[in-house]
Chains A and B, each alone.
Chain A
Amino acid sequence: MGRLAEPRWVRNLLIGVTLLFLGSFLLLPLVVVFTEALRNGLAAYLASFSEPDALAAIRLTLLAAGIAVPVNCVFGLAASWAIAKFEFPGKAVLISLIDLPFAISPVISGMVYVLVFGLQGWLGPWLAEREMRIIFAVPGVVLATMFVTLPYVARELIPLMQEQGIEEEEAAAVLGASGWQTFRRVTLPNVKWALLYGVILCNARAMGEFGAVSVVSGHIRGLTNTMPLHIEILYNEYNFVAAFAVASLLALLALVTLAAKSVVERRMRQEEAQ
């Protein structure tokens, strides 16, 4: 059997390399965020959150995620219903188009809206006449967030619903259930963990997006700054404690996301095994 396993020293070396690599690349940044945030004590840490601009940034982040996540959730459900339950030409193309935002650099995702709604853009002059602003205003931030988080729910649901087929839904329909009843009583329970999984990832990205939002926001303090953008401003002003304090909230969100993700993953595996 000795030939089927590595010698003990190789094993220990590889485990050591793994611990060192993950420790320095993943754990160290996390530790740094919290240490730097608490550098001047708990009072200074907490004071960072009573600042009005920080509160406004938190509110805008919650607003953007609060719109983008439900909207993309509805989109994901609608798209996966159409794609998984019906046959139609161009389906493969539609699936790839849904994944498109993942392939596009965040900066470009923001830029496309500047080119549509910006002053020099397609609709810029029309909007300016009516004194409406999308770029360098809250709607731009929300739109950019919707763009980058569009695929998350759909890409979790589509493969799962395709695999599940349509027998159960057809049975429900034959027994007289309406479309909505079929969806709510049959489809939704079958995909609930995948849906939750998609929502968790979608939310993490919505609250953490930086590049796309940065391009459209205009960085107006207290008005168009999300938490990640506020971090950048504080950091560039050498206000490190406050920057890391806001960052620590997002780091906590990331940790909660990872924990929730592994719980849901375990549930999905259990359900698959059944």
Chain B
Amino acid sequence: MARRRILPGFGITLGYSVLYLSLIVLIPLAALFLRVTGSSWEQFWDAVSAPRAIAAYKLTFAASFAGAAVNAVFGFIVAWTLVRYRFPGKRVLDAIIDLPFALPTAVSGIALTAIYSRNGWVGRYLERAGIESAFSPLGVTIALTFVGLPFVVRTLQPALEDLDPGMEEAAATLGAGRWQTFRRVILPSLLPALITGFALAFARALGEYGSVVFISGNMPFRTEIASLLIVAKLEQYDYTGAASIGVLMLLASFLMLLAINALQHWVGSRYGRTA
């Protein structure tokens, strides 16, 4: 209470923040949940369990998982080389890692489509090899890999920098080969950060829309992700159906978020113990 007396502005700043947050985020979000609770259980169930919706969830989760997995592998290698090695162009590459955050999704969407469509820069070679990339589930995965790319690299970089060189030296002195040291010493201490990065990339991919809408071709049952299905329902003025699927996807991403928070807590306590 003593603090409040010295510094002014508590009431007005807190009041304004809560009011603004409520008007812009919380009340509109409540409209979404009320829309769903206001409809009957059958309506909700019909919307979320329709075969077209199930196909959309399957694709969304599978492609998001695949994209996050690709990022976990290559993001690890990228973070490793950026932190440990010196090579020309490193600074520029490090700055450009965040491009998927900075580049509007519509721009990445049309650029990726131009690359992977049948007569695109890369697509034409894939086509010759019999691989259909744009307008297929593979195209969706490529777009989701792009949007999730920064997460794994950016969570691993600080963890790699904080790694205690003493542990590696100890392992080497005790006779471990480089690969053994990596597998038994380095990898286990990076695992929490790697999983966090993977989970963040996965969560981001679940809700993605802009970069996918161009490359996927939006074919129901084949390349339609959950966000696209929501938009399709809104365009048909099926608000309750759209809200039902929206609530389901929202709950999925909240669960992911909770898992990530628990993970970070775990990471924190691990680092706390080693420090």
Bound-complex Cα distance A141 to B127 (A): 39
Which residues of the other chain, B, contact A86 by a CB distance below 8 angstroms? Answer: 3-4, 7, 10, 14
Within 8 A of A (CB), among B1-41: 3-4, 6-10, 12-14, 16-18, 20-21, 24-29, 31-32, 35
CA distance A253 to B104 in the complex (A): 9
**Restricting to A247-274, which residues have a CB under 8 Å from any CB of B?**
247, 250-251, 253-255, 257-259, 261-262
**Whole-angstrom distance between the Cβ of A37 and the nearest chain B Cβ:** 10
Q: With A and B bound together, what is the CA distance between A253 and B114 in angstroms?
A: 20
How many Å lie between the Cα of A111 and that of B230 in the bound state? 9
CB of A17 within 8 A of CB of B74, answer yes
Contacts of B263 in A (CB 8 A): none
Write the nearest CB–CB distance from B242 to chain A, whole angstroms: 6
A103 close to B254 (CB less than 8 A): yes
Q: Which residues of A contact B47 (CB under 8 A)?
A: none
Given contacts A82-B17, A210-B106, contact A97 B96 (CB under 8 A): no
Find chain A residues with CB under 8 A from B81 CB: 14-15, 17-18
Q: In whole Å, how far is B115's beta carbon from the nearest beta carbon of chain A?
A: 6
A25-B145, A30-B99, A105-B227 as given contacts; A228 in contact with B111, CB under 8 Å? no
CB neighbours of B115 from chain A (8 A): 28-29, 32
Residues in chain A near residue B54, CB distance under 8 A: none
Q: Is the CB of A261 within 8 A of B98?
A: yes
A231 contacts B107, C-beta separation under 8 Å: yes
| Residues B8 and A115 in contact, CB atoms below 8 Å apart | no
B32 touches A115 (CB 8 A): yes
Chain A interface bracket (under 10, 10 to 19, 20 to 34, 35 or more): 35 or more
What 1/0 mask marks residues of chain B from 125 to 146 whose CB sits below 8 Å from any chain A CB? Answer: 0000000000000000000011
B21 contact set on A, CB distance < 8 A: 75, 79, 94, 97-98, 150
By a CB distance below 8 angstroms, the chain B residues around A211 are 105, 209-210, 227
> Is the pair B169, A105 in contact by a Cβ cutoff of 8 Å?
no
Q: Is the CB of A14 within 8 A of B210?
A: no
The answer to whether B209 and A210 have CB atoms under 8 Å apart is yes
Cβ of B159 within 8 Å of any chain A Cβ, yes or no, is no
Q: How far is the CA of A178 from the CA of B8 in the complex (A)?
A: 8
Across the interface, B105 reaches (CB within 8 A) one of A22, A210, A227, A261, namely: A210
Contact B28 A29 (CB under 8 A): no
CB atoms of B13 and A82 under 8 A apart: yes
Chain B residues within 8 Å of A14, by CB = 77, 80-81, 85
User: When the two chains form their complex, are residues A116 and B27 in contact, meaning their CB atoms are under 8 A apart?
Assistant: yes
Task: For residue A244, give the distance in angstroms from its CB to the closest CB of chain B.
Answer: 7
The chain A residue sitting closest to B207, CB to CB, is: A105
B95 CB within 8 Å of chain A? yes
Q: Say if the beta carbon of B163 comes within 8 Å of chain A.
A: no
Question: CA–CA, A208 to B105, complex, Å?
Answer: 7
Q: Nearest Cβ distance between residue A168 and chain B, in whole angstroms?
A: 11
> In the bound complex, do residue B7 and residue A208 qualify as a contact, i.e. CB atoms below 8 Å apart?
no
Selected contact of B207 from candidates A107, A214, A240, CB within 8 Å: A107
Cβ distance A162 to chain B, nearest Cβ, rounded Å: 14
A28 near B121: Cβ-Cβ < 8 Å: yes
In the complex the two chains form, is B3's CB within 8 Å of A5's CB? no
- A169 at the binding interface (Cβ < 8 Å): yes
Residues of A whose CB lies within 8 Å of any CB of B are 3-7, 11, 14-15, 17-19, 21-22, 24-30, 32-33, 36, 75, 78-79, 81-82, 85-88, 94, 97-98, 100-101, 103-108, 111-116, 118, 120-122, 143, 146-147, 150, 166, 169-170, 173-174, 178-179, 182-183, 201, 204, 207-211, 214-215, 227-229, 231-232, 235, 240, 243-244, 247, 250-251, 253-255, 257-259, 261-262
**14 residue pairs from A and B, CB less than 8 Å apart:** A21-B74, A22-B93, A103-B203, A118-B239, A150-B24, A170-B7, A173-B7, A179-B7, A179-B8, A211-B105, A231-B107, A244-B114, A247-B106, A257-B102
* Those 3 A-B pairs whose CB atoms lie nearest each other, nearest first: A105-B207, A208-B104, A210-B210
Please name 6 further chain A to chain B contacts, defined as beta carbons within 8 Å, in addition to the given A215-B231, A259-B95, sorted by A numbering.
A18-B82, A25-B146, A107-B209, A116-B27, A229-B106, A253-B102
